[in-house]
Amino acid sequence: MIRRACIAALVLASTLVDAAQGTRPVLRVGSKAFTESVILGELVTQIASAQGLRATYRRQLGGTKILWAALLGREIDVYPEYTGTIAEEIFSGAGLRGDEAIRKALAERGVQMSGSLGFNDTYAIGMPEQLAERLGIQKISDLAKHPELKLGFSNEFISRRDGWPLLRDRYRLPQREVRGIDHDLAYRALESGAIQATDLYSTDAEILYYHLRVLEDDQHVFPEYNAVLLYRTDLELKAPEATSAFLELVGRISAPEMMAMNARAKLERVPESRVAADFLAAKLGLHTVVSEETVASRILQNLRQHLFLVTISLLAAIAVALPLGVVCTRFPGVGQLILSVVGIIQTIPSLALLVFMIPFLGIGSKPSIVALFLYSLLPIVRNTASGLQNIPIEVRESAQALGLPGAERLRRIELPMASPAILAGIKTSAVINVGTATLGALIGAGGFGQPILTGIRLNDVGLILQGAIPAAVLALLVQGLFEVAERVLVPKGLRLPARTE
């Protein structure tokens, strides 16, 4: 009792100290799960830190929807975005044209857009520099004079209405040999001469690496994807010094500079924090401290976060699903309803569920735990219910006929008899949970999904394995743990082989 009071006092005290010292960061930065966004987020974070402001950085969150929801939900204050994405994705269907229309739509949601950071990351057509030089090709319209060229485009670009079909019609391109090809393979195909031009993003790191010439879009067919920063309007009042700090970046990053930073991070595997720090030092003369963690400490940190997500969500799921399973057997009508609801929850795509919860729970571990909790319910509820229903009628009636009250029957007879099925359900939930928890990284909860996400972004198999292997090992460990638990928790009489007479 005294101990509990002490703990409560400690928790309260630490909360008060936090509040008094103002450990709440002045600026919270977010970024999407691709390298350019991660670098831009680093730049914003470091430029604020250089001013002595406390800034936190949630890197590589799931995607546009999650960042936009997090910005509106006051979970982050600023994140890098592209004008084209704002018009096409965030306000899709609104038909916004031009920066003014975008600014107006954003302002209605209480969001400000910075000026362009200095580059336009849009679709572009690239071809090997030497070949372009030899054929005298500078602009996309020059391609019309060379019908023999072999073109290879990413499948998305070929099928998108504003991709190849629009380009072909507008420039009257005569090429016959056009095929779909995976984006990463396209560069190698260009190098080997299998294709002679491909679509790319205008700041792709590979442009430098493969010595490609980016052809000028002289007819302005491709929409503008100017890099900007989105931040809430109230930030200018709450943290004017932070706002003016990151607005320093406006107009300072050119397309070649961005491309060079992407190349360092993606091709040379330099950490984004280092890339950003070097850029700030060279361009703005700012010197920032970059801390780099070791592989071991990172894995340990991921393990801690992963276990936290899995343990809390699983315990909560057991506490809720077991009684629900009992209710299912006692009241079959309500049981049908319960099983349908937990079944439907299972069919909600995880990303949708995470986005849906941001307004209520923000980003980070909370929504991840709730999502994992919800996904863990079905196996436990269903196994508990079927375990109880499969108790032979004569055994159930024998317990009733003895005069044991209902609660005692449940405790002494029915739950122990259903325990193998219940444990199997919990085991299923736990193993699935360990796998699903990797999705927590999409919403900033960390865990083994973090290196997987980074690995996918950097096309780095080693990093992917740094997340995938520990997650798989953890799943096996959990499975093993439950097999031991079965030996301890399932009554001996149920583990004996049936007597054969």
In the complex, minimum distance from the CB of residue 356 to another protein, in angstroms, rounded to a whole number: 43
Q: Which of 339, 346, 344 is nearest to 429 (CA)?
A: 346
Distance of alpha carbon 41 from alpha carbon 37, whole angstroms: 6
Is 491 a binding residue for another protein by CB under 8 A? The answer is yes
The least CB distance from residue 310 to another protein, in Å, is: 30
CB of 417 to another protein, least distance (A): 6
**Would you give the binding string for another protein spanning residues 205-224, x where CB under 8 A is met?**
--------------------
Q: Kindly state whether residue 330 participates in binding another protein, applying the rule CB under 8 A.
A: no
Distance CA 273, CA 204 (A): 19
Residue span binding another protein (CB under 8 A) among the ranges 2-10, 226-234, 393-401, 430-438: 393-401
Least spacing, CB of residue 415 vs another protein, in Å:
10
Find, among 255, 316, 249, the residue nearest to 41 by Cα: 249
| 3-class secondary structure, 414 | helix
Nearest approach in angstroms of CB 398 to another protein is: 4
Check binding of 110 to another protein (CB under 8 A): no
How far is residue 229 CA from its own chain's centroid? 20
- Closer residue to another protein (CB): 141 or 419: 419
* Buried/exposed code over 13-48 (b: 16+ C-beta within 10 A; e: otherwise): eeeeeeeeeeeebbbbbbbbbbbbbbbbbbbbbbbb
Count the neighbouring beta carbons within 10 Å of the beta carbon of residue 119: 20
483 interacts with another protein by CB under 8 A: no
**Residue 497 binding another protein, by CB under 8 A:** yes
| 108 contacts another protein (rule: CB under 8 A) | no
Cα distances (Å, whole numbers) of residue 269 to 6, 266, 294, 487: 48, 5, 15, 48
Residues touching another protein, count (CB under 8 A): 26
Question: Shortest CA distance to 457 belongs to which of 115, 40, 134, 36?
Answer: 36
Q: Which is nearer to another protein, 399 or 437 (CB)?
A: 399
Q: Is 488 in the site for another protein (CB under 8 A)?
A: no
Residue 164 structure tokens? 């190849």
- Min CB(498)–another protein separation in Å: 5
Site string for another protein, 397-436 (x = CB under 8 A): xxxxxxxxx--x---xx--xx-------------------
State the residues that interact with another protein by CB under 8 A. Answer: 392, 394-395, 397-405, 408, 412-413, 416-417, 491-494, 496-499, 501
